Amino acid sequence: MPRPPTIAQQLASKQREISVAEFFERNRQILGFDNLPRAMLTTVKEAVDNSVDVCDEARIAPEISVEIAKEGEDRFRVAVTDNGPGILRREIPNVFARLLYGSRFHSNRQARGQQGIGISAAVLYANLTTARPVRIVSRVEEEDVAHVLELFIDTQKNQPRVVLDDVALPESAHGTKVELVLKAKYVRGRQSVLEYLRGTAIVNPHARLVLQEPDGTRVTFERATEELPAVPKETPPHPYGLELGELGSLLKASRQATVSEFLVKDLQGVSARAAKELLVAAGIPGATKPVAVQGDVQERLLAALRAAPLLAPSSEGLSPIGAMLIKRGLRNVLGTLRPDFFAPPVTRPAKVRGGFPFLVEVGLVYGGALPVDEPVQILRFANRVPLLFQQGACAITTAIGSVDWRRYGLEQKGGSGIPVGPALLLVHIASTKVPFTSEAKEAVAEDPEIDRELVLALQAAARHLRTHLSRASRREFAGEKFSIIQKILPKLAEKTSHLVGKPVPDLTPVVTRIMDVVHVETGLTQEAKTRRVPVTVTNYTPRPRVVELFLEVAPELFARATFAPEPDGTEPALGRAWWTLPKLPPNGRSELAVTFAAPCDVDADDLDWYVAGIDEARLLGADPLPGDWDVRLPRTVVEAAEAAEGAPAGAPGEEEVDYDAAEASAGVRDDD
């Protein structure tokens, strides 16, 4: 007679394999399907991200339409159509109805989708909530029909189940349409499909996005640029941060004949010379076969790699947004809020973590109609995808909270946490592998390397803000001076002259002495087809000035610009031009203009003006020329400028006018 099963046996009998589809069906919140509005957003997001990715890979300017129709209480039909290259018939089932299957997971370059889960997750959720298949219509250029498939996911096996396999007349040269029926809710405002598409438009200005809302409303985000972003190159992993196990699998998989070739060809940043040296350091013969490097030898190799001074990781695998587009994107989204100040966007050099390169970009705007007494707005992006959920769990948020914004002019209780003020922060993390906190890809995990870069980028942007704010207060003060001088001085002079019975003196020296700034004023006039940016430079200093004026603008804008007068020098590739203005006497002014041909999307903020040879304290409306400009100034000019600065205060003939009295009575003081 058999003995009853022991506890261990009972427990063993319950042990079972779990299919990844079962797992995610049960834990769909992990994939971003925890509630109805979010289910809607995640579904659209996964489909659109795929479309943009595949268009970028195929060098096609993305043209994506999202149609959402209500099919009943809590039930919607979502259709996303792209003009991508299409998908081969044989791949369609796996791509859409099998989790952990994809083309980008094993590649080492920046992409929106990297997990091979996204769209299948949406299909899984649709199957689960409405028991309806996903419908795919796709055409590849080389075939003259479109394939139509309807699919379920067999969750027990995590395999596609094809319920319709047909062909149809193609509606376009190439492209794919995904159609799902799911339980969801369509919302507007925060964390909505619209907000996601707007965010996508900000950081993907080369894409055209059209949304058809359930009530029939059509929203279109037109392209902001015709040029496609450079395709990130496939790059081998960089040794820094590589784990022992990863090095092991790389060695095992290597096709190189020797370990030294492996180091140079299968890894990034290792020069032949570095390889030689570190192999010596590790005591490994260069001719060793890669597979033969195991155990302690492997550990020694890794140690040597970590110690070696290697080349920085290449950023070829990355596709940053770039200063120009960040600025323009922000202007797009801010529209009527009209901020006073767009900080020059910051793009940090590429760094590496766990063998994967990454870089951080930050944009900051301030003022205008942005709310003064609310936390600053935060726009988070990862690999050009907006992150709308889990802000509290995101490394970006932590980094922002760890900066002491009080030092840069924002309110912040106790010097940590989200600061308060009329500002907006755009933060973009680009990486060949973004460490998301979950498959929903809504928050970036804490990581010391990333945190460091985030903080540096944020501080750089914050410094611009501080400069702006101090300059603004200086400008205000100068403004006061202006009015005081214009109102009071003439009266004062008249009165005193009348009293002492002398002719009214020339006030110019007083005015300039009190102001003591070179003022660069820019405007913007719009004609039918062009935009004109007039510039006036006035010398409100008591001495003659030779002003060297420099312009910087995005190269694509520069290409459409004409100048009057012609610049003394230009660097079109960098979008730079400069002028040496005729010597300006006190109160003297000089004018020039920049005219841009259509399309008329230029705005005074797109032009940055710099002045050389005059110290910052004496500049109004322009910044001193940054050090990184290696423009050669005519020696004479520099000397002239220096001379002007250097000359002893109070040249003969000035003392005669008693401006002190004037200042005193006017209650103004000299700034120096």
Residue list 572-601, contact with a copy of itself (CB under 8 A): none
b or e along 478-501 (b: 16 or more beta carbons within 10 Å of the residue's beta carbon)?
Answer: beebeebbeebbeebbeeeeeeee
Q: Which residues contact 159 (CB under 8 A, 6 or more apart)?
A: 97, 98, 153
How many CA within 13 A on the CB side of residue 70?
11
**Of 143 and 277, which CB lies nearer to a copy of itself in the complex structure?**
143
Q: Are 487 and 495 contacting, i.e. CB atoms less than 8 angstroms apart?
A: no
Number of chain positions touching a copy of itself (CB under 8 A): 80
Binder among 65, 81, 120, 130 for a copy of itself (CB under 8 A): 130
**Of 26 and 218, which CB lies nearer to a copy of itself in the complex structure?**
26
Q: Shortest approach of a copy of itself to residue 349 CB, angstroms?
A: 23
**Of 189 and 582, which CB lies nearer to a copy of itself in the complex structure?**
189
Residue list 293-352, contact with a copy of itself (CB under 8 A): 295, 298-299
Q: Does 54 bind a copy of itself (CB under 8 A)?
A: yes
b or e along 596-610 (b: 16 or more beta carbons within 10 Å of the residue's beta carbon)?
Answer: beeeeebeebbbebb
Q: Shortest approach of a copy of itself to residue 541 CB, angstroms?
A: 49
Whole-angstrom Cα distance, residue 456 to residue 474?
27
Q: Shortest approach of a copy of itself to residue 307 CB, angstroms?
A: 13
Following DSSP, what letter does each residue of 498-565 receive, concatenated? HHHT-PPPP-HHHHHHHH-EEEEEE--EE-SS-EEEEEEEEEESSS-B--EEEEE--HHHHTTEEEES
Following DSSP, what letter does each residue of 315-362 receive, concatenated? STT-----HHHHHHHHHHHHGGG--SEEPPPEEPPPEEETTEEEEEEE
Q: Does 504 bind a copy of itself (CB under 8 A)?
A: no
Binding region for a copy of itself (CB under 8 A) out of 127-135, 507-515, 563-571, 626-634: 127-135
Q: Shortest approach of a copy of itself to residue 166 CB, angstroms?
A: 19
Tokens of 427: 């933060």
Whole-angstrom Cα distance, residue 325 to residue 310?
32
Tokens of 525: 């006039």
Q: Does 484 bind a copy of itself (CB under 8 A)?
A: no
Residue list 86-125, contact with a copy of itself (CB under 8 A): 86-88, 90-91, 94-95, 98, 100-107, 115-116
Q: Which residues contact 367 (CB under 8 A, 6 or more apart)?
A: 339, 340, 341, 422
Q: Shortest approach of a copy of itself to residue 23 CB, angstroms?
A: 6
Q: Shortest approach of a copy of itself to residue 361 CB, angstroms?
A: 21
Binder among 57, 261, 608, 645 for a copy of itself (CB under 8 A): 57
Q: Which helix (H) or strand (E) holds 454?
A: helix 448-500
Q: Map residue 138 onto helix, strand or coil.
A: strand
Q: Does 159 bind a copy of itself (CB under 8 A)?
A: no
Binder among 230, 445, 504, 643 for a copy of itself (CB under 8 A): 445
Binder among 67, 150, 404, 447 for a copy of itself (CB under 8 A): 447
**Of 202 and 242, which CB lies nearer to a copy of itself in the complex structure?**
242
Binding region for a copy of itself (CB under 8 A) out of 291-299, 485-493, 524-532, 630-638: 291-299
Which amino acid, residue 449? E
**Of 15 and 336, which CB lies nearer to a copy of itself in the complex structure?**
15
Q: Does 62 bind a copy of itself (CB under 8 A)?
A: no
Q: Shortest approach of a copy of itself to residue 29 CB, angstroms?
A: 4
Binding region for a copy of itself (CB under 8 A) out of 162-170, 219-227, 434-442, 498-506: 434-442
Q: Shortest approach of a copy of itself to residue 165 CB, angstroms?
A: 17
Q: Does 383 bind a copy of itself (CB under 8 A)?
A: no
Residue list 215-274, contact with a copy of itself (CB under 8 A): 243-246, 248-249
Q: Shortest approach of a copy of itself to residue 462 CB, angstroms?
A: 22
Q: Does 50 bind a copy of itself (CB under 8 A)?
A: no
Whole-angstrom Cα distance, residue 269 to residue 305?
10
Which amino acid, residue 636? T
**Of 296 and 656, which CB lies nearer to a copy of itself in the complex structure?**
296
Q: Shortest approach of a copy of itself to residue 440 CB, angstroms?
A: 8
Binding region for a copy of itself (CB under 8 A) out of 218-226, 388-396, 518-526, 618-626: 388-396
Q: Map residue 262 onto helix, strand or coil.
A: helix
**Of 62 and 86, which CB lies nearer to a copy of itself in the complex structure?**
86
Question: For the range 67-75, what are the long-range contacts, defined as Cβ-Cβ under 8 Å and sequence gap of 24 or more?
Answer: 67/212, 68/40, 68/44, 68/186, 68/193, 68/211, 68/212, 68/213, 68/214, 69/214, 70/186, 70/214, 71/181, 74/36, 74/183, 74/184, 74/185, 75/130, 75/181, 75/182, 75/183, 75/184
Q: Does 34 bind a copy of itself (CB under 8 A)?
A: yes
Q: Does 25 bind a copy of itself (CB under 8 A)?
A: yes
Q: Does 154 bind a copy of itself (CB under 8 A)?
A: no
**Of 248 and 534, which CB lies nearer to a copy of itself in the complex structure?**
248
Q: Are 74 and 126 contacting, i.e. CB atoms less than 8 angstroms apart?
A: no
b or e along 386-422 (b: 16 or more beta carbons within 10 Å of the residue's beta carbon)?
Answer: bbbbbeeebbbbbbbeebebeebbbebeeeeebbbbb
Residue list 611-670, contact with a copy of itself (CB under 8 A): none
Q: Does 443 bind a copy of itself (CB under 8 A)?
A: yes
| Closest CA relative to residue 467, chosen from 576, 344, 333, 638 | 344
**Of 447 and 601, which CB lies nearer to a copy of itself in the complex structure?**
447
Tokens of 472: 């603004």
Q: Map residue 575 onto helix, strand or coil.
A: coil
**Of 119 and 325, which CB lies nearer to a copy of itself in the complex structure?**
119
